[in-house]
A and B are shown apart, each in its own frame.
Chain A
Amino acid sequence: EAQVTQNPRYLITVTGKKLTVTCSQNMNHEYMSWYRQDPGLGLRQIYYSMNVEVTDKGDVPEGYKVSRKEKRNFPLILESPSPNQTSLYFCASSFGGTGHTEAFFGQGTRLTVV
């Protein structure tokens, strides 16, 4: 089954404790991205990757890191989480280039930083 898988689905952590949210897709998509969703603000892009080893900042990259060592995986790293990073996070993937298509989303990760 074609899907984007995020883990964990729920996470409560303390300020400053490094964490990683994993994202994996099985559709051979080139383009992957991370979003955060906050009430009244819609989705805001954190980082994106157009292919392996190619990543770039989205609209709200501060406090986050990503890597793209393999095509299927695109982890989101919070080196020192803070309470303002409490949010709902989504990973998405799509085909890139001239065949760019709609985005497929993971199930989401609800992160609480206390």
Chain B
Amino acid sequence: AQSVSQHNHHVILSEAASLELGCNYSYGGTVNLFWYVQYPGQHLQLLLKYFSGDPLVKGIKGFEAEFIKSKFSFNLRKPSVQWSDTAEYFCAVRGQRSNYQLIWGAGTKLII
């Protein structure tokens, strides 16, 4: 069965620190990969996505992610976090032979 693992449930950082949130998935075929952010009390918003091409993907608000196919990973990074980045971050994977179902990680709560 497909699954998505986010390594840290809670991360606490100071402003200006660098951020890396891990995401690993288990699926043998072609995948689409997503990172979503949920600010307190709000709905999920897309940060960035990977469908094909350059494995280094840039998203909104200075976030980027790198798809490493050999490691089944799609880690989220930001060089310098701000207080406004306090939120919960979700990694999601869609296998192209899975009726388009998104499989979600459990989320990482980031506190700045």
Contact = CB atoms under 8 A, between A and B. Distances in A.
Interface in A77-107: 90, 92, 94, 96, 100, 102-107
B102 A45 contact: yes
A77 B107 CA distance: 27
Main secondary structure of the interface of A (DSSP, over half): strand
Interface string A38-66: 00111111001010000010100000000
A108 interface: yes
Contacts, number: 52
Interface in B40-74: 42-46, 49
Main secondary structure of the interface of B (DSSP, over half): strand
Interface residues on B, range: 20 to 34
Contact of A105 (B9, B44, B94): B44
B27 to A, nearest CB: 15
Given A92-B44, A107-B43, 4 more contacts: A42-B90, A50-B99, A102-B49, A104-B46
27 contacts: A31-B100, A33-B102, A40-B9, A40-B106, A40-B107, A41-B106, A42-B105, A43-B44, A43-B90, A44-B104, A50-B99, A50-B100, A58-B101, A90-B43, A92-B44, A94-B100, A96-B100, A100-B94, A100-B100, A102-B49, A103-B34, A104-B46, A105-B36, A105-B43, A107-B42, A108-B42, A108-B43
